[in-house]
Each structure stands twice: as C-alpha cells, then as structure tokens.
Chain A
Amino acid sequence: MKTVRIGSGAGYSGDRIEPAVELAEKGDIQYLGFECLAERTIALAQQEKMKNPAAGYDPLLEPRMRAVLAICKSKGIKIITNMGAANPGAAAAKTAEIAKKLGINGLKIAAVTGDDVLDVCKQGDFALLEIEGRVGDLGNRILSANAYLGAEPIAQALAAGADVVITGRVGDPALFLAPLIREFGWAMDDWDHLGKGAVVGHLLECTGQITGGYFADPDYKDVPGLARLGFPIGEVSEDGSLVITKVPGSGGAVTAATCKEQLLYEVHDPANYVQPDVVADFSQVKIQEIGPDRVRVEGGRGKPRTETLKVSVGYIDSYIGEGQISYAGPGAPRRGRLALEIVRERLKLTGVQTNEIRFDLIGVDSLHGAKLAEGNEPYEVRIRVVGRTDSLAEAVRIGNEVETLYTNGPAGGGGAAKSAREVVAVASVLLPRDLAKPTIKYVEV
C-alpha cells in the first residue's frame, strides 16, 4: 500500500526551528508543514499590513525559510504553511527573494488567498458567535475577517507543481490533509477518507505536543530530552491509517498516551469535529504502540462538510492595564494582600475607570481562585492588578498605582512591573461557504 511521510515543522508562530531542520535532513519526509497562525494572529498581521503593504506575514518566515529551503529543495520535500497570515502574496515574494539569495533555481511558490472576507462580512452583517451583536456593531473597531479555507486550493497548488505553498487562514489540519488528497487522489466528497485525513492533520499540527512536549510530569510522566525535542512525522497509508513517529535519536517520546492527549486537544464533541472540508469523527479512533516511538492510529471517520465556513473577526476590543510587585519571606502573603487592598482603594480614590478588574496573588490564587488554593501559604508571592479600560491613558493608571507601592505600600516590595496595551480580540461568524473564493497565484525562481 502506498504511504506518504509528512513532517510537522511548527505548531505556532514562535516555535523552535532546529527540529524542523532535523525533520528535513533526517526525517525521510515528502512534505513539511508549518502551522503558525493562532486565533488572533491574522488580526495583528493585518494591523502590520495597514502600516506597510509589504508586511503582514509571519515574522519568523524569513529565518524558517532560510533554515529549510535549500535542504527541502535538494530532497524534493514540499513545504506547506500558513505563514502568509494577512499577506500570502508578500510572503511568497519574500520566499522567492530568499531562494534567489540562497542560489536556488527552479522553485515554484504558490500563494493561496481568498480567506480575507472582510468586505463580504461587513455587507452581510452576520451575527457574532462569542459576543453579543453583529459585525456592523463593531463599527470602525473591526480589523479583519478571515475564513478558514479548506485543503482543496493547497492540493491544487501541489498538483500544479508547487514546491512551496503559502496560505493565510486555513483550517490547521488542512495543511496536512492537502498532501494526502494530492498523493492518494481522495475526492472532495470522500467523507470517510477526508475524516481520516483530518485526524492526521489534527495530530500533527501542534508539533511537539504529540512527541512528549506539554506532557512531562516528573515521576508520573517522564519525558527524556525535552531541550532537543523531536517534531512528529506522520506515516500515512492510502487507507487513511497512520503511524506517528519522530526522527531516531531526537528528544521526546511518542507513546499511546502522548497521542491520546493530542487527539482530544481543543476538541469539543469528538464525534463532530468541524473542519472546512469535512466533519470528522474521532469517537472510534484506536491508538496502539507498535514499536519504540511508533504509534498506530486508525478508525477516524468523516461526515459531509457543513454549508458554512467559520470566520475569525479581529477587532479592537478594549485596553488592558496591569501592574505587578513581589513580596517574600515571613508574612509575604499578608503583605501581598495588604498591597492589593491599597491598590483597590487607590484606584477608587483617584477615579480610575475600569469595566472589569482582577486582584491576583500570584503563588496563591491567580490561576484557580481562592477556593482551590485554600491552606497553601507560599514563601513568596507576587501581586497582580489588571483591569479593562476604554482608553490606553486610563489603562496606564492601573500599573502606575501598583508601582507606587514601592514607596507607599507594605514593607519589602520588589520587582515592580507595569504595562498597558490595546486588546485585539477575535470573535467568529459563520459564512455561507460560496462567499469565500480561494485564489492561487504562483511565483517562480
């Protein structure tokens, strides 16, 4: 049975680069995917693009391409990535420029666009899912609207001979489903195979999270070599079954347990995992260790895709101001609590306007609240006061009040830090899928 080996070279924008190089050099792979877009990344990239029309793609595109482009070209490994963010065209041009500088010839780079549906969303005034209201209610605070495109345009670009495919927003698993469609000739209504391919993509897209990253818990779940964690390889068969493995000698571990944790990561109803190309069903998946760092995954299924595409709408939500300061030694938690009370009173006295505010004692109750923290008194604590405001100027005042604890607060406070920032948030709408029209453009070097 025909198999294809796909490596996963980035699970988020800032991910490590050397494991991707290791995959390209020693992974015996035919495809290398880089997933680099978190929920709000495109909105932030859109802000960059508004300042500079040649910007708006992933800030690490250049070092990543420099690191892997020549190896991939020499070994015939195709690169698929959403590092195009808000500007896949500019990302493709930049990649071509890097290829030229590296002396690479005969490289075909595809830029997939059409995910930008801001105008359509404004015209349609669709309802927002996570917050109340409609697109129009966001007024001039709206920054971006990007539909999660599917694997089809990526597969088309591969079929047209692209060596590198750069997209904006696509469903993360689509980066890995696309080469399977290309290699195995799966039809776009072959729901069962597309469902199995979605399992492959879902397991690979967070890189190290399936090879022992985000897993270690000393004495319970020990993982060797996390500083040189190997990224995953999916060895996929034509029937859609899969073996997850990694480069021999790299750090980390691929076990049934690491694969199970990743199978359910960011999944809601496992029988209905909605992707642009298919509604995947993970509920019957079986996971079995078949050798050292080799885990077999099978039993994924699929159902017809939905009539809508999810769209992430980026908008300026509010401003957040924050201040922190630490206390240590005997009585530290009591001095921390006193500090919080002082800031609470100061913000009231000086009339700082907030819509929402938190007073945390880091080391005690900042993560899970007071109830779960009961009875545990630490040696050192750090107070954190954070509030949401309608303007940056108002946000600045919160951190300032925490900083004044140096000379006006409890004894022994140290290490104050403050910040104020604009909050670009994301909400979703469901868009009739015909309203997003993928387009592919090519650059050749």
Chain B
Amino acid sequence: MKLREIAHSRTGDKGNTSNISVIAYDQRYYPLLREQVTAERVKALFAGIVHGGVVRYELPNIGALNFVMQQALGGGVTRSLALDAHRKSLSSALLDLDIEDLSKSEDA
C-alpha cells in the first residue's frame, strides 16, 4: 500500500532547509512508519532535489516523524529558480512511498 493510506503530511521551509512531517492517521500505524519511513528512504526518494543530509526526528506522543532536509530549496526560498520555491509540494510525493503491510503478509 501507499504511505498515503495510513499517514498525512505537511512541508515547511526555512532558509535552504525543508522539513516534512509524516503523521499517522491512527496511533497503531506509528510503528510501521517508524520502521519503514527511514531517513535513508526519504533521501533516496528526493535524490536530485535534496542535496544535503536528511535527519529524522521521532514524536511518539503524536504518532509522527519529522524529516529535516538540508540544501533542499535551491539555495533558499528567496532566491530559488524553482516554480515551487518553498517546495511545499514535496509532502505529496512522499505520501506516494510504498509501505509493506506486515500484518497482512503474515496472514497470507
């Protein structure tokens, strides 16, 4: 299934850094997010867009992850040549990530 089925997301910008939250619709999906939506996968997905490191912060209380991506805004929102200079639309690309539903594969 797609990440979109179990989580929602919002992108924020500051300077040349982008952050994307990934929030479980239901707390029971949080372990799945934690296990499968890794900083490495996010960095690979955005190769060519994000030129710096990707750090993941965990917020178990609200069932969310926060990805902070350096050198992600084409030199900064105020000077970027990109159509979406804030890169606000990145969250939608992240929600297309494939998630393996472990409970289902065990049933089968």
Contacts and interface: CB of A to CB of B under 8 A. Distances in A.
27 contacts: A39-B77, A130-B15, A131-B75, A214-B10, A217-B8, A220-B4, A261-B21, A264-B21, A264-B66, A266-B19, A267-B66, A268-B17, A268-B68, A270-B57, A271-B57, A285-B59, A287-B62, A357-B81, A358-B82, A366-B82, A366-B84, A369-B49, A372-B45, A388-B79, A423-B78, A425-B76, A425-B78
A324 to B, nearest CB: 10
Interface string A317-355: 110100000000000000000000000000000000000
B15 A428 contact: yes
A29 interface: no
Interface string B1-25: 0001000111011111101010101
A372 B93 contact: yes
Name, among A214, A260, A369, A371, the residue most crowded by chain B CB atoms within 10 Å (CB to CB): A260
Contact of A367 (B4, B9, B10, B83): B83
Given A265-B12, A287-B62, A425-B76, A320 B19 contact: no
A285 B45 CA distance: 29
Nearest to A366: B83
A367 B9 CA distance: 17
B8 A266 contact: no
Name, among B13, B57, B82, the residue most crowded by chain A CB atoms within 10 Å (CB to CB): B57
Interface in A294-312: 299
Contacts of B66: 264, 267-268, 270
Interface of A: 39-40, 129-131, 214-215, 217, 220-221, 257, 260-271, 282-287, 299, 317-318, 320, 356-358, 360, 362, 366-369, 371-372, 384, 386-388, 423-428
Given A268-B17, A371-B48, A424-B78, A261 B84 contact: no
A386 B81 contact: yes
Given A358-B82, A368-B90, A372-B93, A267 B23 contact: no
Interface in B16-50: 16-17, 19, 21, 23, 25, 45, 47-49
B6 to A, nearest CB: 11
A368 B89 contact: yes
Contacts of A261: 8-10, 21, 23
